[in-house]
Amino acid sequence: MSSEGFLKEMQTIGEKFLLKLQKLPKADPVEIVSFCVVLLFIVTVLLLMIIACSCCCYSCCSCDGRPEHRRRKIQVRPIAH
């Protein structure tokens, strides 16, 4: 998908979203609740993605400013009886 196609698709989705928001005050209660549930789901997914990316960056890229410490491998030996 080209950049122009992606931008056009995002614009179409935005226009549909704005149209839905404009019609929302006149909608049935069931439609309002379902719209809110879908919106809550989208916000939750985006929030979880941001948290996951920030945690991954923090642990992998040493974003905390300290140099990366490698953990020593500990050999496990069998117990002598």
* Tens digits of residue pLDDT in 5-61: 999 999 999 999 889 889 888 889 998 899 899 989 999 999 999 998 887 776 666
d(CA 35, CA 25): 12
Per the structure, how many domains does the chain have?
1
Specify the pTM: 0.54
Residue 74 lies in a domain: no
Residue 15 lies in a domain: no
Residue 47 lies in a domain: yes
Residue 34 lies in a domain: yes
- Residue span of the structural domain in which 47 resides: 27-59
Residue 41 lies in a domain: yes
Q: What is the mean pLDDT of residues 68-79?
A: 68
Residue 40 lies in a domain: yes
pLDDT at 11: 94
Residue 33 lies in a domain: yes
d(CA 53, CA 17): 27
Residue 22 lies in a domain: no
Residues contacting residue 56 through CB under 8 Å, at least 6 positions apart: none
